[in-house]
Amino acid sequence: MIELNAVSVEKSGAPILNDISLSFGQGGITALIGPNGAGKSTLLHAIAGLVAPTCGTVRVEGLDMARARPPERARHVALLAQDERVTARLTVRDLVGFGRWSHHHGRPRDADRRMVRDALDIFDLNPLAERRLDALSGGQRQRAFVAMAWAQETPWLLLDEPLSALDPRHARDIMDRLHALTRPGPAQRSVVIVLHDLGVAARYADRIVALKDGRLVTSGPRVLAMTGGMLSDLFGTGLALERIKGRDVVVPV
């Protein structure tokens, strides 16, 4: 379970998150939505323990993330940040192997190598395993990073706008894979993802957390919380939910 209790975050004296209290259990995809500057990325980083709250506490499976040591945090949540700028000359296998670092601290064992093989299998990366990252397309690269985060073997995967640089085909591919990961099975993970594309949120999210100006607007199951009125208020523009071919689609009105 992720529990935020009266969490506020300030940067250089300016409030970024304001008194956020929120909790949700494992399972499914939780989408963080809201306009630019709402504090979505900061919330994700606070959950991962990389941003210390000015006040309040963040607990993941009971662990106080602000006080935990980095390897301990990394065994509870895997975070894929927005601007991954890895310049080292790594192959895909090397990168995925780094996902195991909090388990082996640079000395991989058989269990770690097995986990890397599983990650390459699950994300269909075997044909690319020995390719260097700088030789991959944007979609392949993002898939490799998600595989690295999965290999961390944490109950939670936190992803900060992983679709921002992807075309619709690759974005859909990533979301289909994440959706598959949340289904029951040995590879199951709970996903918390920052999304700007409301259509993707409407299609894939099980749960919605909406933020505006650093405050929590609403949170709950997507079918209840995500309404045209809520989205219109959240983004300050007319939006409606239409049902097309059996799926919810967000349209401007």
Partner 1 sequence: MAERRLILLAAVLVAMAALFTLWNLRAPYGFILSLRLTKLASLCVVGAAIGTATVLFQTVAANRLLTPGIVGFDALFVFIQTMLVLSLGGAGFAALPALAQFGAETAILIVAALVLFGVLLRKGGDDILRLVLTGVILGVLLRGLAGLAQRLLDPSEFAIVQQATFATFGAVDRTQLAIAAALLALGLLAAMRLARHLDLAALGRVTAMPLGLDHDRIILVALGIVAMLVAVSTALVGPITFLGLLAASLAHAVLQSWRHALLLPGAAIIGATILVSGQFVFERLLGLQSTLTVIVEFLGGLLFLFLVLRRPRP
Q: Which residues bind partner 1 (CB under 8 A)?
A: 48, 50, 69-71, 73-75, 77-81, 83-90, 94, 98-99, 101-102, 105-107, 148, 152
- Cα(first)–Cα(last) distance of the chain, in Å? 37
DSSP state letter for 241: E
Q: Which ranges of 5-160 would DSSP assign to H, the alpha helix?
A: 40-47, 70-74, 92-98, 101-104, 110-122, 138-151
Nearest distance, CB of residue 162 and partner 1, angstroms? 13
Query: Measured from the CB atom, is 107 or 243 closer to partner 1?
Result: 107
Query: Measured from the CB atom, is 12 or 253 closer to partner 1?
Result: 12
Query: Measured from the CB atom, is 88 or 180 closer to partner 1?
Result: 88
Query: Measured from the CB atom, is 102 or 140 closer to partner 1?
Result: 102
Nearest distance, CB of residue 109 and partner 1, angstroms? 14
Backbone angles phi, psi at 139, to 5 degrees: -65, -45
R_g of the chain, CA atoms, integer Å: 18
Cβ–Cβ under 8 Å, residues 8 and 56: yes
Residues linked to residue 191 through DSSP beta bridges, in sequence order: 29, 157
Nearest distance, CB of residue 106 and partner 1, angstroms? 3
Nearest distance, CB of residue 88 and partner 1, angstroms? 4
